[in-house]
Amino acid sequence: MGYSRDSFYRFKQLYENGGEEALQEISRKKPNIQNRVPDYIEEAVTNLAIENPALGQVRASHELSQRGIMISASGVRSIWLRNDLETLKKRLKALEAKVAQDGILLTEEQLKMLEKAKLEKEAHGEIETEHPGYLGSQDTYFVGTMKGVESASMVPRT
């Protein structure tokens, strides 16, 4: 019938014990959650990322080890990726969201980081015009002349 003897008897036993429903619930793929850290470590890493958004992976790992939570820098990175906190910009956005949601008070360092991010968002060196394309500019750069090629101003007129 296309099945091995072991599979046949396994299916037969499942059918006898649970009926057709037991056969429908068979899944070959089992969830493989390897390299997952416990929930309390993941929560500590995400809280630290929001409290101190300027910390990098290595500094965050060292800070957590001082608090008694052992995790590597790459472990911090994988947790940040899972929680969408991998860049400074995303961590600052998460801090702003937490402030708006919970109404917490910010520290001096957090205020400095948010102000710095706002300054970087502002446009620098832009020119305002009435219409798009209204103002144009041209940049020219003279390199030199090519040997054997006469310029138009040097050609005698007849």
Q: Tell me, letter by letter, the H, E, C secondary structure of 37-94.
A: CCHHHHHHHHHHHHHCCCCCHHHHHHHHHHCCCCCCHHHHHHHHHHCCCCCHHHHHHH
CB of 49 within 8 A of CB of 61?
no
Asked if residue 62 has pLDDT above 60, the reply is yes
The alpha-helical segments, DSSP class H, found in 103-151 are: 108-121
Higher pLDDT, 150 or 3: 3
Angle separating helix axes 39-51 and 88-102, nearest 10 degrees: 90
What pLDDT was estimated at residue 136? Answer: 73
Six token digits for residue 33: 């959650």
Q: Whole-model pTM?
A: 0.54
Please report, for residues 8, 10, 28, 152, the alpha-carbon distance to residue 4 in angstroms, rounded to integers and kept in the order given: 6, 10, 16, 89
Please compute the mean of the pLDDT values over residues 31-48 and round it to a whole number: 83
Asked if residue 118 has pLDDT above 70, the reply is yes
**HSE-CB of 75 using CA atoms within 13 angstroms:** 19
What pLDDT was estimated at residue 89? Answer: 85
Please compute the mean of the pLDDT values over residues 43-62 and round it to a whole number: 91
Residue 59: which pLDDT band, with cuts at 50, 70 and 90? very high
What pLDDT was estimated at residue 100? Answer: 82
